[in-house]
Structure 1
């Protein structure tokens, strides 16, 4: 697979992952971290935090739109990373990778630094060797 093909494959993979996300009621709201309290009863054990979309209102306030829970994690740091890498980031990365479409790259020659970065990102997304 050529370097250009690897970059295209990574952009396509991101676009597919984003397209496969549930969107009903979600919209394009950013993700954020919410720490669980010690009194939250979550099975099998309390989680330190969750990634959510939308803003939580006090218990007696209507939730409109509803808060959407995206993921939970063992640490606040993991949640913060997941929240930062929301679908908007994936879409921006896909657009950046797609901007390389049609540009020929030959790894036999020295690639410009920005092309090396694009290829490294594509390989990380594709799960292939760098």
Structure 2
């Protein structure tokens, strides 16, 4: 039988593995102009000459920062949820697993864990 502590620990382990294998943050969003092809929302890491593309979200728009399209909001969200945030969340889930055994599970932590565990 899987306990809440088991679920929390599994989610922490999964999140930590994903964060460890990803490019370290912080990340930032950027509006990249593709010339005649328009604009795209991107997520970048690094600074100046070490900047690298992390994610490319096509907008099919010729308007920079086209608020009518979700790609800019998606890029902002992805940038904020960089691996450093994943590591912090993994630590929180581990602490919540200890609490689950000692004082009972946090419904919020368990919801987060279950969504992480359900993700592919």
Quickly name the TM-score band, shorter chain normalised: 0.7 to 0.9
Confirm or deny: 8 A CA contact 1:49 1:72 kept in the other structure.
yes
TM-score, L = length of structure 1: 0.70
The alpha-carbon distance between structure 1 residues 18 and 38, as it changes in their structure 2 partners (threshold 3 A), is closer
2:33 counterpart residue number: 37
> Could you give the per-residue CA deviations for residues 8-38 of structure 1, whole angstroms, max 9, x where no partner exists?
000000111122225xxxxx44100110114
Following TM superposition, the consecutive aligned residue runs of length 4 or more in structure 1 with deviations greater than 4 angstroms are: none
2:17 counterpart residue number: 16
2:64 counterpart residue number: none
Q: Are 1:101 and 2:97 an aligned pair?
A: yes
The alpha-carbon distance between structure 1 residues 8 and 29, as it changes in their structure 2 partners (threshold 3 A), is closer
Kindly name which structure, 1 or 2, has the bigger radius of gyration based on alpha carbons: 1
Higher share of residues assigned helix: 2
- The number of aligned residues is 104
State the distance in 2 between where 1:99 and 1:5 align: 12
TM-score, L = length of structure 2: 0.75
Q: Over aligned residue pairs, what C-alpha RMSD do you find?
A: 2.2
Deviation at 1:47, TM superposition (A): 5.3
Higher share of residues assigned strand: 2
